[in-house]
Structure 1
Amino acid sequence: MAILITKLTIFFLRLFGRGATTLPGKIALKICPSLFSDLSDRFRIIMITGTNGKTTTARIISGMLNQAGINFITNKSGANLSSGIATTLVSSLSLTGKSLVRTALLETDEGAFKILAPKLKPEIIIVTNFFEDQLDRFGHVYATLNSVKEGILGTPESKLILNADDPLCASLGQTLPNSVDYFGLADDVYPEDYIKASSDIAYCSNCRSRYDYSSNSFGHLGHYKCPNCGNERPQAQIECTQVLEYDNLSSTIEIMIKDQKIAVKLALPGLYNIYNALAGAAAGHLFELKEDDIVKVLADIESGFGRMESINVEGRTLKMILVKNPTGFNQVLEYLLTQKTSCTVAFLINNKLGDGTDISWLWDVNFEILPAMQDTIKSFYASGTRAVDMAVRLKYAGIPEKNITIEKNMQELINSMIEASKENDTLYLLPTYTAMLEIRKVLKERYNLKEFWE
């Protein structure tokens, strides 16, 4: 009964142009609360969780599965709570409950993971990283770590793929019985200036002494060692050994997989995407892909919905990049520094439940690097429910008030950005999650884009 009603709900919602990504799952779970436990043996589950990079990593692993010739389903829309995952799984069942596809790749919210993992018993779990995010929902980052740890404790047979450069992430492999493959950057290969890790996460999880870092990529990620108890970064089996070249379009890197080195030109720009590529390469290795196949996937991968998504808009290139916490936002701003030609930037900041209602985190973002870019960035826009707060933050960062435009109407925002730019310019939209859904709906209707769940 749950399967039939859920499938009918999906059909009618899609018929009326709705995403049908969460409501059908809510209905299925209401009818059958044991749904996940009941379905666990019908699928080979691969779960991805962590603070940043889940959706992009899922797209890369999707490419690895395709390259390996493995049919699979995935929550491509990014609906990663219990309801979205229930919708994804039920949509791939026949009316008799038989799974039509054996493998399920599931991006999973950090908060939902501890409930879902023990029920679904995934074969592989990828954890990208842990950063402060939505404090009103998750609390301190250690609460998120403990939530994920609790989920993994319920599935000790799962293979783990963990970020060696993140002390919190790596600690999961050091304290749990699961088998682990680590990924990370080799010592001192990150091409940006070394910045001493200042987060309180840069303290040893065993004895609370401050880690010594021999190199640091961003945030608390890097090569660390506790001077007191000796706790240190584990050896990575999949490692970026060189960043050969990077700009605002792509990165060329060298990856060591076990004992084999490969050179890869990543189709994804942004140095933070190197970590996502390494996680994807680690999964590809588990799928027994050859090195040439892994290179092909990483070279061909396209940006996902709202994650460096690129759209041709009236002779201009519009790029939409999700921002949701200080560390991720800082990495996007660092990416903007690679922009060499004229551009316009809009910050779309909402404080709805899907974004986190507390926006004080904006004051932890390093907007102070933007004044140095005013020869490149011609105009700054603030939009969303907290547009005024965003404009104030830009003003305090040193952006002249006359260069900041507040425009809450998203149709008018696009019009104004186009009018303020010229052909071949780049228009950047940096939205929080619900603002991303809103602006993409406007763009979809205006430029006939694919639906976000397609």
Structure 2
Amino acid sequence: MKQRFKLLRFWAAVITAKCAIVILRLFKSGGTSLPGKLALKLYPQILDHLAGLFRVTMITGTNGKTTTSRIVLSMMEQKGLKVITNKSGANLSSGITTTLISALTLGGRPRFSHALLETDEAAFRTLAPRLKPETVIVTNFFRDQLDRYGELHTTVNNVREGISRIPDAVLILNADDSLCASLGRNAPNKVIYFGMGEGIYPESGASINSDAAFCIQCKSRYEYSSVTFGHLGHFRCPSCGYERPHTHVECSGILFYDSLGSHVEISGPDLRISVKLALPGLYNIYNALAGASFGLALGLDEKAIAAALSGFECGFGRMETIAIQDKELKMILVKNPTGFNQVLRYLLTQEKPFVLAFAINDRLADGTDISWLWDVDFEVLALMAERVRNFYVSGIRAEDMAVRLKYAGISTDRIRMEKDYRQLITRALQETGAGETCCILPTYTAMLDIRRILKKQFGLKEFWK
């Protein structure tokens, strides 16, 4: 009787959530979280039930989750697997519940064999034991939304606790991140490490930030033989000997690198490929390495891994490019100092003039504390100022962004404020010349608002597709 009651609650939760998804999407709402919230309210144990219906892969970390998810999805499709994934980026328990329920028939049977789930790093501790993943990919750890996540090591320990409760999962970890790599130490799990080869990255002037300058084991300062960005690189503690682990998948060469992408060599004991990546930036090379590591674990051959890496589609708002007549609009999500600095380094590779717009919000999903803007190296904008036609600031905290640009050395007569997103898009595109790019750098909720407008104007896909 008790088991039958649970099944009835499960079925009722599924039907309610599915009805909510249909209704919300009829009204052009994503329906990515509310249906899951309703299902969890009706049947709090529904995630435990759902987890048993799919073979689960989880991806977590501060930066790169969505793009890495897209690459991993390409790998799984190369293998011929039927996969459901939370493409919208709704990565808390409610969003993941919605995703899994959407993959069921009305009778509660799964229409997919596998589930690929991007997971918020703060929620990973409780979600991982419930979802029981076969594979977990951790991209990196950087300081992000201190008002929500707290101190960085708290986030790392939350993920560590989640991993400790899934000893059978294969871990795919960033070897160049001392925090991320530490998750594999003394763990019973099978671990696959990925990273950049010694000194092969194309950028110079890298400096180690304060996110993880000191040894996670003994608190001594790390020594680095090479650095890619932030605290990522070939590290070693001179006191206790903790050092970057040996990699199974490594970027062994960068043959070409510009504002459109890169051509890289990826190698390992069972892998050696040369592949063109459609997304620019060092951080996307790391995402590709994580994806290649997963492909290797999945049993794909070199040809299939190379095909998945060269053919994947970027996630919405993550270097998303929209062709508009004879010009293009590029939207790049920004959310923390390290990621923002990498976007600014990417802009340095732009050869043609461009318009640059910042849309900064401080809603809960963005992080209500925007003091992190002062940790971003906006001073590098002086190196590209002659190529920037104008600087626009928008969003709830437009004034704060304008002040930050002023102190970065940008002349105030070149900083234009436009809080109406429609007008921002119109004005910025009008100032963008033929063959040039308008770059919009929004925080998360600003990205959703701006993309909603762009969808109506230019017929983009819905963000949950």
Question: If the length of structure 1 is used for normalisation, what is the TM-score?
Answer: 0.99
TM superposition shift of 1:263:
0.7
Q: Deviations over 1:333-385 (max 9, x none)?
A: 00000000010000000000010000000000000000110121111000000
* Corresponding residue number in structure 1 for 2:212: 201
Corresponding residue number in structure 2 for 1:9: 20
- Tell whether 2:260 aligns with 1:249: yes
Distance 1:26 1:364 in 2: 36
Query: 1:135 matched to which residue of 2?
Result: 146
Q: What is the rounded CA distance, in whole Å, between the counterparts of 2:269 and 2:369 in structure 1?
A: 43
Task: Name whichever of 3-12 and 54-63 sits farther off.
Answer: 3-12
**2:42: which partner in 1?**
31
Q: 2:230: which partner in 1? A: 219
> Cα offset for 1:418?
1.7
Amino acid at match of 1:19: G
Counterpart CA distance in 2 for 1:381 and 1:430 is 10
Question: Matches of residues 261-340 of structure 1 in structure 2 within 5 Å?
Answer: 261-340=272-351
What's the counterpart of residue 145 of structure 1? 156
* Aligned with residue 417 of structure 1, among 428, 445, 452: 428
**Of 337, 353, 361, which aligns to 1:342?**
353
Correspondence for 1:371 among 377, 382, 399: 382
Please tell me whether the aligned partners of residues 142 and 211 of structure 2 are also in contact (alpha carbons under 8 angstroms). Answer: no
Correspondent of 2:372 among 361, 374, 395: 361
Which residue does the alignment assign to 1:116? 127
In the TM superposition, structure 1's runs of 4+ consecutive aligned residues that sit over 3 Å from their partners are none
1-side partners of 2:432 and 2:110: how far apart? 50
Secondary structure of the residue aligned to 1:215 is strand
In structure 2, give the amino acid aligned to 1:155. I
State whether residues 194 and 215 of structure 1, in contact with CA within 8 Å, keep that contact through their aligned partners in structure 2: no
Aligned to 1:269, the other structure's residue is in SS state coil
The 1:380–1:72 alpha-carbon spacing in structure 2 relative to 1, beyond 3 Å, is: same
**How far did residue 315 of structure 1 move?**
2.1
> Structure 1's 391 and 385: CA in aligned 2 closer, same or farther, altered over 3 A?
same
| SS of equivalent residue, structure 1 residue 381 | strand
The answer as to whether partners of 1:128 and 1:162 remain within 8 angstroms in 2 is yes
CA–CA distance in 2 between the matches of 1:256 and 1:279?
13
Contact 1:196/1:216 (<8 A) preserved: yes
The residue matched to 1:375 in structure 2 has which SS?
Answer: helix
Q: Which residue of 2 aligns with 1:98?
A: 109
The correspondence for 1:381, drawn from 386, 392, 395, is 392
Which residue of 85, 88, 91 corresponds with 1:77? 88
SS in 2 for 1:47: strand
Match of 1:180 in 2: 191
Work out whether residues 379 and 403 of structure 1, in 8 Å CA contact, stay in contact via their aligned partners in 2: yes
Q: Which amino acid aligns with 2:109?
A: K
Give the C-alpha shift of residue 194 in structure 1.
4.6
1:190: Cα distance to partner? 1.3
Residue number in structure 1 paired with 2:7: none
Q: CA offsets, 1:7-41, max 9 Å, x none?
A: 11111111121111000000000001001111222
Report the AA paired with residue 420 of structure 2.
N
Whether the 8 Å CA contact 1:197–1:219 is kept in 2: the answer is yes
Are the counterparts in 2 of residues 268 and 301 from structure 1 also a CA contact under 8 Å? Answer: no
Structure 2 Cα separation of the partners of residues 379 and 389 of structure 1: 17
Work out the percentage of aligned pairs sharing the same amino acid.
57
Q: Once the 2 structures are TM-superposed, how far is the Cα of residue 259 of structure 1 from its aligned partner? A: 4.1
- Three-state SS of the structure 2 residue aligned to 1:272 is helix
Give the secondary structure class of the aligned counterpart of 1:201.
coil
- TM-score with structure 2 setting the length: 0.96
Q: 1:53 aligned to 2:40?
A: no
